[in-house]
Amino acid sequence: SMLRAQCFHDVDFHVTARRSARESGRLTFPYHPAEMPEEENFCKKMSKATRGIHAISDALVNAKLAFGFLDDSVWADGLLVFYEVFRYLEGAMIRLRNTKIGLLPLSELQRTEAFERDLDHYLGKGWRKNYSPRDSVTKYLMRLREVEDTDPTLLMAYIYHLYMGLLSGGIILRKKRQIVQKISPFKAQPSNDGNNVTDFGQNSIFQLKRELRESMNRIAETLDEDTKNKLIEESKIVFELNNEIIKSVQTGSHVFEKIFYFIGPVLLVLFVLIIVLNILYKYIIR
């Protein structure tokens, strides 16, 4: 009985010690590694820091490019504003391939030629003759040049967010567009033409995103805190500049005409149905 009492005493001691340590914020004893909270990785920190501005960016993209679901010219304008940005970044990746940027898995992500094929499809092969970047795009490119000249490591913020956005939201927008075109009464059945930017061939989108995220986290582990903080701050600028060029996407009045043509008959049917139901209720059902 003395041995049993001692065992109960020992168990009670450890339970009390663990409870006391937990309440005081100190490590519990005996301690199990699974109880330690998982450390937040760098990509999660970037995501948390940019959550607000990222939400605004998503709303702008959905509001603007939704018009492109029914109008190729709007969709093409959306491609055009990002074309120069991706082209610059992919040139910078080559120039900086012997730096940490070269550690990012970018061989399967190259999009410049895909942008050009899509723009050829929507605008015709001669679109470059009279083309010049608009002011918001020029401002974006100036920032990219400044970053490359002064602190090229910060270009990773642009590379990470833009390619991750293309692999996520870009593909979702393409699928939504294809669905809308299938049910549209005045749009030819959609084809795969003009979708090169979001076509990554046989590569798994999930795998591409995971490799990009893991590479960014591994690189961040080699950076000092000051550089990581700068990358987080530059990430906010990425979305601010994205928002400016998205706002410049043209959605002409003809788009509203198409939308009205599309939903007009539906609204008319609903209006007539409401009137009929009202009459039935007023003079027959009652």
Q: Is the separation of the CB atoms in 166 and 197 below 8 Å?
A: yes
- pLDDT at residue 171, as a whole number: 87
C-alpha to C-alpha distance for 112 and 197, rounded to whole angstroms: 8
Angle subtended at Cα 200 by Cα 198 and Cα 202, rounded to the nearest 5 degrees: 145
Name the pTM for this structure: 0.74
Average pLDDT over residues 156-174: 93
> Regarding predicted confidence, which is higher, 251 or 133?
133
Residues in the chain: 286
If one counts every other C-beta atom within 10 angstroms of the C-beta of residue 81, the result is 22
C-alpha to C-alpha distance for 92 and 112, rounded to whole angstroms: 12
Average pLDDT over residues 185-193: 59
- pLDDT at residue 148, as a whole number: 98
- pLDDT at residue 172, as a whole number: 87
Burial class of residue 279, CB neighbours in 10 A (0-12, 13-18, 19+): exposed
How confident is the model over 26-55, as pLDDT tens digits?
Answer: 444 444 444 444 578 999 999 999 999 999
Q: Is the separation of the CB atoms in 57 and 236 below 8 Å?
A: no
Q: Which residues touch 2 (CB under 8 Å, ≥6 apart)?
A: none
Question: What is the token pair recorded at 240?
Answer: 């601010």
- pLDDT at residue 179, as a whole number: 83
C-alpha to C-alpha distance for 124 and 142, rounded to whole angstroms: 28
Question: What is the token pair recorded at 178?
Answer: 């294809």
- pLDDT at residue 222, as a whole number: 96
Sorted by where each starts, the structural domains of the chain and their CATH numbers stand as 42-259 (1.20.910.10)
Lowest mean pLDDT among 63-72, 84-93, 100-109, 129-138: 63-72
Q: Is the separation of the CB atoms in 65 and 173 below 8 Å?
A: yes
Look at the block and give the residue holding tokens 């490119």: 141
Name the nearest CA neighbour of 266 among 147, 184, 206, 176: 184
C-alpha to C-alpha distance for 180 and 167, rounded to whole angstroms: 20
Q: Is the separation of the CB atoms in 78 and 138 below 8 Å?
A: no
- pLDDT of 166 > 60? The answer is yes
